[in-house]
Structure 1
Amino acid sequence: MREDMFKVIVERPRCTHSNIYKGDGRKFRNSEDRPARIGMKDGYGHRKYLNENLAPLKRFLEQQVNRPWDKVYSEIRAAIDARNTVKQHILQHLDNFVAIETRWEGDRKEGRVLARYTNWSGRYVELAESQAEMFVHPLTGILLHNRLRARFKAERNGKRHTSERDKVRRIISDRVQLHLVNDVWYEVTLDILPAARVVLQHVNGAAEKTRVCDKRWDVIRKAWVTLENKARVAPAGSNQDYYGHVSLYALKKRQLSSREIREHQLNVPQQKQKARKGLLFFQRTVI
């Protein structure tokens, strides 16, 4: 670890500007109102201030993966003196990236690693639930990547994406889907884009083979799409985002009735709910 790591992490450079002071840059020290005796730092309005830039510390720890944690920690303590309050603050941030307190549960062959959830919690959780991106193996003492956390995070984001997608799309069958477009639910019939075909063209008296993809009109995206460009011509997204496959497009659509919306338990936009309640109240008042 570099010796000035604590400066990189906790100190920001002094803000300066070429026109911030007049003369030699010591406006207060050269004024007539200054006292007879002043300190070395008096008169400088733009001083260094503390900050938390933990990216260099994280990069250093990632470079030490597959090394014994005792050696890594020794290098850190050689550059950072815990007797200094500012430097000690860096040591407290190690737990943000490394699960240091770990233990082994079960036998050596089929056991698993548990990590302490937080510093103030005595609960031990699996590595997938740990917030640290690295951990110290309890048996070998080696610093390792927490790959289970990355996998768990990807699965969680995938479930979140699926939940958000279900708010605007429901899959009924391979060729039928329900889509929410401009606060209106439609039953969309899908079809497969035609495959590319080879056409012979005569250019300057020579026959050349050209790959041609027929266009189809997508009624949801309101754009001409082909299998070649995979419907990237529309700025809203791709076929994969809309229909779950690059070779599908919306052939036709039909607006759903209120009864069908209730049967499929589809979410109705809040504005339409308010408008419907207002209409029912108006009808009851008139009657």
Structure 2
Amino acid sequence: MSEHRLGEIVIERPRGGMRVSLKKMHGFKKQLAKLTEEASEDGLLSPYLIKPRNKSKYFSDHLGPLRRYLRSQVGQPWNQVYSQLCQRLDPSTLAGQHVLSHVWHYVERHAELIDGVVHRKPYRGYFSQLASGYRDQFYVHPETGLLCIADKIPWPKPPAPTDIVILNDRHQYRKLNDLWYLITFEEFPPPPTEYVTDVLQGLIPRCRAVWQNDRYLYAARKKQCNKKEIRFILSQLAKP
């Protein structure tokens, strides 16, 4: 990456989407274009004053070089890093201001240490832990003033369900009102049938059925489990 062209690299990415001519559009946009053209010919307004509200183009900044540059400066004094950025990105220009606005999205300047853990500055009286997720999160160390990168905190695994044991696509054990049942699923009937009675949800339309293996399934029957089945269920739930 050319650090001297950082501002150009970040903002030179072409906009996403596609350009669509109003002359090729149908419906209200075509009528709007015609009204605009007629009003412009009559001198009532400039042709650029009436434009469609939903644009087909959108901005798509290329921020990878900026993140890589910040990552390469981890461990350096933030004042020095920011000074170098200002030398390469003129804050008096619109392009420089645009890139620097992205810097503040990545760098937390007012971090605080609470019991050795980095937190963001309080928002409405509440602190939130600073952590890297799908992208790196940087912060200025409140004591040393160095640019640091926040540790990634792994997402906790959801606890295993204790009220369901799946056997296969069509059968599963469910705990309902402290009683275990064997639930049997069947394929949703073809049209014109649009409603069925589901033993778990009641009367449901096709859209509320379970979509699995390219077909709609619903809970057609349930049978209370016997002691042997309950022992099997408990053994399955006890597995790590």
Taking structure 1 as the reference length, the TM-score comes to: 0.42
Rg bigger for which structure? 1
Q: TM-score, normalised by structure 2?
A: 0.49
| Structure with more contact order per residue of length (Cα contacts < 8 Å, sep ≥ 6) | 2
